[in-house]
Amino acid sequence: MIEARGLARTFRSRGGPVEAVRGVDLDVAPGELVGFLGPNGAGKTTTLRLLTTLLRPTTGRATVGGCDLLTDPVGVRRQIGYVAQGGGTAYECRVREEIEIQGRFYGLSKADTVRRGAALASRLDIAGLEHRLVRTLSGGQRRRLDIALGLIHAPALVFLDEPTTGLDPQSRANLWEHIRALRAEHGLTVFLTTHYLDEADALCDRVLVIDNGTIVATGTPDELKSRISGDSVSVEVAPGTVPDAAGIAGRLPGAHEVTTGENTIRFRVPRGDTALPELLRALHTHGIDLRSVQVHRPSLNDVFLTLTGRTLRDAEVPGAA
Ligand SMILES: Nc1ncnc2c1ncn2[C@@H]1O[C@H](COP(=O)(O)OP(=O)(O)OP(=O)(O)O)[C@@H](O)[C@H]1O
């Protein structure tokens, strides 16, 4: 659905050129829900604006929905929906008017706009709000209206730029449900940017991590987490049994970094959830009394830290110590 090679964009500014995007390669398959994760200023919005034909790349090429970005930008626009950061609705407009304007903008007939608008409003839980002024909607309702507007022409692919920024946790979780349902029901391909780790983790099939205009990692959230360091397992056993238990832990497939304390053994394995049953069986067979066990799967923040030497939070505050 998206194939980009060497996509780059440099801006001229008073302080000199800014290389916002530096040679991005990416592939998105039809029906995928892909998250573009990175700190503020990483190049997420610029990449999105390149892929939606709102900006011309300085170098590189891409096809979106089979249409070339440079030679067939109109073809690209026909295939896509774009929901910008903060949306594009006018506060003093009524919801119905916004839907009508958007439908007209995409060349839909009035009847098609009404039919499609009603179906999307119902799907996105904003039915019955058609007569309301946009400014009277809650933050979550407004974001859902933004998404309905982005989908009015039934695109195969939708770009969502930070769809849940500014929403409270409950509204964010609710929006994730809607995005998942839209993908499940319509086979929609979704490409979204986020700097929320939990969002990428909970929502996306695959995550592309971008930093300083370059993609530094791609994979499913689980793949990224296990590729970096594996899960850490901490086991508490009866005093005196630590050496035997440490030996057993060290023989588990892929076990490494085994360390011991007075009653504890810590180690890493590629997958804690699959290593655990084998560990429990072996400890039982050797008559070792297990007191507690904890598995910690690294977060996407650990992944970002390993890849860049900074946490996402540090990266978001330029000059932070
Ligand atoms: N029109 C412009 N002129 C000059 N520099 C720009 C312009 N647009 C973006 N930049 C710079 O390019 C870099 C990437 O910006 P971009 O908006 O793509 O980042 P982002 O990852 O989307 O950040 P955020 O999460 O804050 O939206 C930043 O350093 C930004 O200041």
Cβ 46 under 6 angstroms from ligand 1: yes
Closest ligand 1 atom to Cα of 47? 18
In CATH, the number for domain 230-297 is 3.30.70.980
Read off the tokens for 165: 């920024």
Ligand 1 neighbourhood includes 172 CB (under 6 angstroms): no
- Between the CA of 21 and the centroid of ligand 1 the distance, in Å, is 9
Does residue 1 have its Cβ closer than 6 Å to ligand 1?
no
Structural domain boundaries in the chain:
2-225, 230-297
Query: What does the DSSP 8-state code read for residue 267?
Result: E
The whole-angstrom distance between residue 250's C-alpha and the CA centroid of its chain comes to 35
pLDDT tens for each residue of 138-197 = 888 898 899 889 889 889 999 999 888 877 888 888 888 888 988 888 889 999 998 888
Looking at 52-196, list the stretches that DSSP marks H as alpha helix, in order from N- to C-terminal side.
Answer: 73-79, 95-105, 110-123, 139-150, 169-186
273-321 per-position pLDDT tens digit = 899 999 999 999 999 999 999 998 877 777 777 777 766 665 554 433 3
Structure tokens at 72: 């067939």
Q: Is the CB of 108 under 6 A from ligand 1?
A: no
Q: Hey, what's the torsion of the CAs at 72, 11, 304, 163, to 10 degrees?
A: -60
Average pLDDT over residues 212-235: 85
Q: Is 195 left (phi over 0), alpha (psi -120 to 50) or beta?
A: alpha
**Model ipTM?**
0.96
Beta-strand (E) ranges in the chain?
Answer: 2-11, 18-28, 33-37, 59-64, 67-68, 80-83, 157-161, 189-194, 206-211, 214-219, 231-237, 256-260, 264-269, 290-296
Query: Three-state SS for 141?
Result: helix
Residue holding tokens 């891409």?
Answer: 62
For 287, other C-beta atoms within 10 Å of its C-beta total: 8
Report the C-alpha gap between 136 and 39 in whole angstroms.
Answer: 31
| Superfamily of domain 2-225, CATH level 4 | P-loop containing nucleotide triphosphate hydrolases (3.40.50.300)
The answer to whether 281 and 251 are in contact (CB under 8 A) is no
- Write the CB contacts of 321 (distance below 8 Å, at least 6 apart in sequence): none
**How do residues 81-138 score in pLDDT, each as one tens digit?**
999 887 778 778 899 999 999 999 888 999 999 999 998 888 888 889 999 999 999 8
